[in-house]
Structure 1
Amino acid sequence: MSNLIYGMHSVDGAVRGNHVDQLYVCKDRNSEKVMRVIEAAQKNKIPVSFMDAQWFKNNFNDNNHQFIAASSKNDSLSKLSLEDFLANTIKQHFFLILDEVQDPHNLGACFRIASAFNLSGIIVPKNNSVGITPVVSKVASGAVNHIPFFSVTNLSRTIDLLKEHDFFIYAADGYSELSIYDQSFSGNVALVMGSEGKGIRRLTKDKCDLTFSIPMTGSIESLNVSVATGICVAEIRRKLQ
């Protein structure tokens, strides 16, 4: 049951958005919050199963499941190829590209950032990247249900595809002498962020049109990838509007 999501906030959002095909609640829990989720499930004709506490322990170990879970649908949103998505949407796009990010907490946080700043989607390479897991879904607090997620075979060719659709590709690189705050942003934009340990791969960086850094004045020389993503996305979105 690898498509399980858990936690009150994540499950509530997924149920109300009709993105799950089964709701699981602990038969000994009947709080007002749980009852509201059950009512939403019944309204959307989502089956509800009442499980014992051991079922939650078996599936989620000591994670903070709050005795509520759901099995998520394989929505067409995730099945649609990036090429088809670009061909069937007419708007200014802003994509986030994560180059081999492997920490599920970072990916979940990036989903929340993408939702907060109305990004078009998140793109990751299939190899050496975390996908959508229960931990990602919980950290994302429902954002995985409405932010398109594209897992691609070849990131370099994907960047070429974006350029064919008039995208300008930016990369955040701590070694760049250019500041993000000195850049202007317009049109279709994609932002590349690197992995937790190695940063952006050289081949990926070579495909980008421009690299910039986040100026820092304190003693810390680097930021967590999701924190850096939030800063960059907020600045780009501010200038795109």
Structure 2
Amino acid sequence: MEVIYGVNPLKEALISGRGGVEKIVLARGRTEAAIREIRILAAQQGVPVEVRERSHLDELTGKASHQGVLGICRAYHYQDLDAVIANRHPSCLYDLVLILDGITDPHNLGALIRTAHCFGANGVILPEHRAASVTATVIKTSAGAVRHLPVARVANMARALDELKTRGFWIFGADAQASQSVSAPDYSGAVGLVMGAEGKGMRPLIRKKCDFLISIPMLGKIDSLNVSVSAGIVLHEIRRKQSRHPAGQR
């Protein structure tokens, strides 16, 4: 079991039907509209609601910013690679998968999942080891997006990239040292975008597996962006370019 907290993450978990919410705990005195909406959703799904003192919620969340509401849920269920690939957004012409190599900060992971969802990515692929997993912090930071977007964890990232290639994906790696600008490719076809850890970037083997390396031109005196901001810029450019091309077949 795990605890998710915050109004929006809990509401999205209930709306999506994927949250596995077993019980909701409210801080005494919370009666505003957002809480009433959560109560209605819970009643519709047969999820019990318990009212407790705020100190009880503090204990369950380690005094995190829970906003007076939390859910006791089944542990997050990861999807497999097939489920991610199958989840193409109905409004998008091409498949787009975000691949995260060595993202260890849960806040960055949550922001990246939220960004991927907003740009219509099929899903997100994570490595099993030396990387953040989906936790309550990730769920809250993603604003509930993790409940709408499949996330897969793979034991061997290099092998997963090879599998994507056999299924027609071109693999693009975001690398600050790459000579090719993010605006240069046309991105027609299925795309897998690899984002590496802040500071370290992609691991050498993963970099070698990329078909293309791209960078974001910058003019400021600081030579790097937060990884979720970088991902947003690249994903926007990919979708902008893809919208100019006729859709191919899977």
Aligned to 2:125: 123
% same residue: 35
Range with greater deviation from structure 2 (94-103 or 23-32):
23-32
Asked if residue 174 in structure 1 is aligned to residue 173 in structure 2, the reply is no
Deviations 1:70-124 (A, max 9, x none): 133457xx444214654x5678310000101011111111111111111000001
Aligned to 1:43: 44
Q: How does the TM-score come out when normalised to structure 2? A: 0.89
Which portions of structure 1, spanning 4 or more consecutive aligned residues, are displaced by more than 4 angstroms?
88-91
In structure 2, give the amino acid aligned to 1:32: A
**Given that residues 102 and 196 in structure 1 are in contact (C-alpha distance below 8 angstroms), is that contact kept between their aligned partners in structure 2?**
no
CA distance in 1, matches of 2:63, 2:242: 42
Deviations 1:176-218 (A, max 9, x none): 1110111110111000000123110000000000001000011
**Given that residues 110 and 229 in structure 1 are in contact (C-alpha distance below 8 angstroms), is that contact kept between their aligned partners in structure 2?**
yes
Secondary structure at the aligned position of 1:180 is classed as coil
In structure 2, give the amino acid aligned to 1:56: L
Asked if residue 67 in structure 1 is aligned to residue 74 in structure 2, the reply is no
Ranges in structure 2 where 5+ consecutive residues have no aligned partner: 244-250
Deviations 1:127-155 (A, max 9, x none): 01101111111111110111010110000
CA distance in 1, matches of 2:82, 2:113: 21
**How far has the Cα of 1:28 moved from its partner?**
3.0
Q: How does the TM-score come out when normalised to structure 1? A: 0.92
Aligned to 1:132: 134
Count of aligned residue pairs for this structure pair: 237
Aligned to 2:223: 221
Asked if residue 185 in structure 1 is aligned to residue 184 in structure 2, the reply is no
CA distance in 1, matches of 2:176, 2:79: 33
Secondary structure at the aligned position of 1:181 is classed as coil
CA distance in 2, matches of 1:6, 1:123: 24
Q: CA RMSD in A?
A: 1.7
Secondary structure at the aligned position of 2:11 is classed as helix
Aligned to 1:56: 57
Ranges in structure 1 where 5+ consecutive residues have no aligned partner: none
CA distance in 1, matches of 2:223, 2:203: 19
Secondary structure at the aligned position of 1:190 is classed as strand
